[in-house]
Amino acid sequence: MSSLKNLLKTICLFTVFMFLSVSNVGLADDNYSPLDSPDFFEGLNTFTAVYSQIKQLYVDEIDDKTMFKNAIKGLVEGLDPHSSFLDPEDQSDLSENTMGRFGGVGIVIGTEGSFIEIISPIDDTPAYRAGLQAGDIILKIDDQNVNQINLEEGVKLMRGAPGTKVKLTIGRPDIAPFVVEITREIITIVSAKGLLLDEGIGYIRISQFQNPTAKLVKDMVSELVTDNNKKLDSLILDLRNNPGGLLNSSIDVANLFIDSQGIVVYTEGRTPSSKVTFPAKRGDILNGAPIVVLMNKGSASASEIVAGALQDHKRAIIMGQESFGKGSVQSMLSLEDGFGLKLTTARYYTPSGRSIQAKGIVPDVYLEDNTLSSFEDAINLNSQEKDLKNHLSAESPSELSEEDILEMQDEITENRDKEYIDLLREDYFVHEAINVLKALKVITNK
């Protein structure tokens, strides 16, 4: 019995130590202590009893460090799909993700029950080219059943050196589970692309919100104005299968098109530091030209912030499908010895006070996924040279001047853009957006 009391004392001290480490970040309530709660000691008694039984009876001997680590992981991961306890290696992986370059298959994932759900495939990645879709459920990774591991372990299994392969068993409604073998690549995310679809109608595709995205979009609008030889009449902003990214980037992009007072988004949580308002900054670079924002169920997080802001400011028509509904804020907290805590601390709200979490953004015009031509084909047209029509063969080069080479490169880019535009015009969502924008132009000119 004395050993159990000593263990209880150790766990109490360990819990207080962990709490004090986190409170230094400034998010915790300085007046709160778990030792003031009777329920804390009742739960701790049960915990120590289970801990003691495992130490004495479990088939294999487990050291205390592993036991505590597993207990903390269970404590955090039981909260929601986005909170997690990170060891030093996990922290390194997270930093790698934020750089926008890593080795893997190219998907953004979350949890669905005891399985892993694909929130969105990333444009022009192995997973995207393999046909994986938003809403697909990963049942197995190689021979590992996903319901036996957590989200971070699933990520590690799918990561790997470029050129290596991984098999994913996929569940999709209305068809039998199937296996996809994917070759890993270095995933480098290109966040935006712009084209002139029709006279006066610009098209900008944002695949993810990164640090330079707002500047890229602003530069693209300027280039489209130049290509159009006058100001744009309208713009299609394509956020389909955009899983999100950096909050500040999404706010900057929304502010490119807002010319009214108010806010872009605000957050609310339990602590004062989690209650933040992000103001709108007047300066619409389109001078009020109509905007259609395209969304689907793969549009999440930062893309939902942009769509919600433009919708509430009456600045854009949202077309497509209801978005994913990832409207929670995760804060990174540093612990001792390189460990970390990614903790959900707030929810996002649109300017009118709508919660994004588990609700998503409801489109103004709902569209069934009746694609006339393949959206995937259009997005995948930063393909290789060999995929282009009438591409040059791989014969030994003749002597060409630098001017000839540059002219050939310009022709290749022009051909690729033409194919991209042709496919986008046949894409059902884009087709309907163009119809709406043309109708608005007629009404406005009357």
Query: Annotated catalytic sites, by residue?
Result: 301, 312, 326
In this structure, the strands spanning 365-366 and 317-320 are parallel
C-alpha neighbours within 13 Å on the C-beta side of residue 43 = 9
The CB density around residue 115, as the number of other CB atoms within 10 Å, is: 15
- Do 189 and 208 touch, CB atoms closer than 8 A? yes
Residue with tokens 């400011």: 313
Amino acid at 360: G
The CB density around residue 191, as the number of other CB atoms within 10 Å, is: 23
- What's the CA gap between 121 and 105, in Å, rounded? 9
- Do 124 and 380 touch, CB atoms closer than 8 A? yes
| Pairs from 311-315 (Cβ < 8 Å, separation ≥ 24) | 311/350, 311/361, 311/364, 312/350, 312/351, 312/352, 312/354, 313/258, 313/260, 313/262, 313/280, 313/351, 315/257, 315/258, 315/259, 315/260, 315/284, 315/291
- What's the CA gap between 281 and 112, in Å, rounded? 37
- Distance from CA of residue 98 to its chain's centroid? 11
